[in-house]
Amino acid sequence: MSTSGIYKMAGKHLVEKSFLYGVYKNEIDVVPGIIEDAVRSRIWLCIQKHCDFKLNLIADAD
């Protein structure tokens, strides 16, 4: 999964006033510095519990 895909997936579940909901609704690619983001710790926890989860940092370059 790409970093922009993570933010679109999160936006799908947020309220309409959310920035990430707008990203999801309008199919906009947002490529934040996820490695330095607060989300990084949540991703790390997810990887610890679900070994099959893969984050592709290069996918956003396409």
Per-residue model confidence as pLDDT tens digits over 4-56: 788 888 889 989 998 889 989 999 888 766 666 667 777 777 778 877 777 77
pLDDT at 20: 86
pLDDT at 26: 94
CB 19 within 8 Å of CB 32: no
Domain boundaries of the chain, sorted by first residue = 3-61
pLDDT at 49: 80
Higher pLDDT, residue 58 or 25? 25
Note the pTM of the prediction, 2 decimals: 0.54
Rg (CA), the chain: 12
pLDDT at 35: 62
Half-sphere exposure of 61 toward its Cβ, with a 13 Å CA cutoff? Answer: 3
